[in-house]
Structure 1
Amino acid sequence: MPETIADKTIFSLAEVSRSIQKTIADRYQSLYWIKAEMNKLNHYAHSGHCYPELLEKKSGRVIAEIRATLWKKDYERINQRFLAITKEPLKNGINILLQASISYDPVHGLSLHIVDIDASFSLGELEREKQASIALLKDQGIFDANKQLPFPLLPKRIAIISVETSKGLADFLKIIDNNPYGYRFEYSLFPALLQGEKSVSSIMDQLARIRLQLSQFDVVALIRGGGGEVGLSSYNHVLLATAIATFPIPVITGIGHATNETVSEMVAYKNAITPSVLADYLLQHFHDYARPISHAEEVLRVKTRQLFDQQQQLLANTIRYFRMASLNKLRDNRHQLADLRSRTLQQSKHRLIQEKTTFQQLKKLLFIRTERALLKEKQLIAFLGQRLKRENLHVNKRSHQLLVQLKDQLIRQSQQLTSNEQRDLERLQHHLATVIKRSLLESAKALENQERHLSVLDPQHVLKRGYSITLLNGKAVSNAHVIETDHQIKTILAFGEIESQVTFVKTNDETNNG
């Protein structure tokens, strides 16, 4: 009851609180549908209860705020329906349409007790946010910015954003590392959260790290895989989509889901439905490059062989030509020399005959001359003999010099042509040896890479990680239904073996079907 002190009616705090409690209870007796933003879910794992903080904003300013309660059973029911309809769990920062009762407690104050949440409303809100992100990116003119970047001819160096334990990442690496063509990729993993509230900031932080070492990579691969449809709303966030759209090198995604594309996938250079398909996309680029190279190698090999054969034939023809030309030239020179010798002898004989005739005539005419005149005639005959001898020697010497010059010229030309052809052959042999050596080195490296990956699959490595092999009658057992009680089985560990007798067997539907 209120007190009266100095003409003042005074109420206690408890009285005022109970009055407010009664008034609110009388006024708000029904359940009400209320639209609000769930600022924080505040789920406590140990109790299973939630204490959401609800807001309403206008122009970015909070104009209303109230706390609420969501008990464990209601939360589990509502969260399951959210997963089924929106493919997302209840989480912070989403707009919801909730059904709640209004209550006031003298100690805890005003609150809403949530009994239901319309998942369809939140689904529409998520789609509205997605369309708003798309519209904003298009208005800024960056929606297709990443798609317009030139894609590298060989996307060899890959910056991968994923989780170390992701099955999708394992599938992706298995395909590119064990490709049958022996193509070699270089990649670095940038670990990030790929779903949940912190996934947007986590992925953006890794994009920022990659940007600082941009020259080391050709493309960025965002790989999720294995996560189903849960947590995809993160990829509709406008900040993440902006970071991907404006990234300076191509961003390719393999997020792994079968629903409509997220905004991040829409703005990426290439979107594959699974990480495995994304790996095949990269391999295809290598294959498209390798095919013309292989064809060019074959053409070069054939053309080189043809050129070598042609040069060999040309060299053989040249040698044969010069041999025949040299022989013909020598034969012609011999004929000229023989002809010159024959004409010289004939001229000499003719001259001697003429001189002899003259001498006989002079002898008959000048028989009566004195001994002095006879001596003069003898001197004249001696002089004429010496002159004839000099002329014969001069002719023979010029023919011999001409023959020697022709022979030397032919030898020099043959030697020079042979030397040039030998140098061309040596250069061609050196080039072929270099190409063959490089091809053998690349094949050896590919073989070493294959051996290294095969060693990882050694069963001994699997056993060392804590796994074991169970044998029944010497055969490995994969299904429990083939074992019965009292059977003797052997268990092989990484270090040792265990023999035991079965006392209990448990099977399930999967095992029986198997």
Structure 2
Amino acid sequence: MPEDPDVLSVTQLTREIRDVLQSRIGTVWVEGEISNHRLQSSGHQYFTLKDAGAQLSCVMFRGAAARSSVRIQDGALMQVHGEISVYEPRGQYQMVVKQVQAKGKGSLQERFEALKRRLHAEGLFDGDRKRAIPRFPRVVALVTSPTGAAIQDMLNILTRRAPWVRVLVFPVRVQGQGAELEIVRALRVLGDAEDFGLPVPDTLVVGRGGGSLEDLWCFNEEVLARAIAACPIPVISAVGHEIDFTIADFVADLRAPTPSAAAELLAPDSAELQRHFDSIARTLKARVGTLLEHHQHVIELTAKGPLLHAPDRLLQQAEQGVDEQEQRLRESLRERLQAWADDLTQKQHVLAAHHPRVQLTEAVHRAETSGRRLQQGLQHRLDRLADRLQSRAELLKHIGPQAVLARGFSFATNAEGKVLKDAAEVKPGEEIVTRLAQGEIRSVVKG
């Protein structure tokens, strides 16, 4: 077939699509919820921007990320500014982000935070209600997907490190609508394992591999959190990667950063255990040998000692020691009793000094003394006031109006008793009263 100049290669078509996107759309602001955020060692950041109807792959290169003061995290509602382009190796369109600014929290993250606060307030996260994980479990139940990589990792680790552990796998869905109900049913069945004819597990592991916030959401449902809290068997939550946190992690008795880490926690390495047991055996053997040598030495000393040759002498020494101890005891009791007697006498003197009768007598004496002082003070005050009153009365007598009248003076008032100071204050025919030192004169004004 001859070459057709109109036939494009994949690379050519992809580049034309990129050119169209960059020229037609260019740089824009887009708002959405952050999901599946990844920070690479190179400093580049990759994430998905999504809303209810679509999602957009985004990349923020190291330079733009270093200039940004806004932290990008899953569940956050962000506004991003950048250029629409195409990642040619995968033929995938994406946004090259230059700038980000926070808008709020996405709906899933808000639900997560609200449920976390409510369950924390109820005490489901408290450390005192969490149980210890058995160090050497005999039966372990794995509640996870039977087809994921997590189950294979856990089985490989358990088989290699602890082949004596019996493993029960309870297959469930770990993603999608209704997955949390399957996990809840698994917890209830395993909690009553004996009723179902199953070996009773020492520990349960609930988990799965990593994923986005949406992929892990079934582990954030309230019904699963309460089922984990109510489970009679200790539960290890091993969901996602080390940076992923779910409600199940907070409620579970122990959180493992990954499913593999959960398996390692449950299964101590057999070789390490063997070395530990060998060390214990050597230590025990050495201690038993030392103990036997000690007892052998005691037996030898006893055989050579006076217990066999002169038991009477040992008995006499013991009796003499008893007598000495008895004498010391008597002296100690005598000293103690004397000290108690002295203390009692002192307390009796203190009590007598503070007896209510004594206190009352002293109070009466103080009251009588204070009463006499008060009476004397009042009498002295009254005498001083009487003297001042007499002095003021004499002064008033000498400068008062009666004294003035006695010297031959008089004063006139009208009929109403108003003192007259001016002749114009009365009219002919009015009656006036003239007051003298002795008596008064009533007159009628002529003019």
TM-score interval, smaller chain: 0.3 to 0.5
Q: Normalization by structure 1: what TM-score?
A: 0.35
More helix by proportion, 1 or 2?
Answer: 1
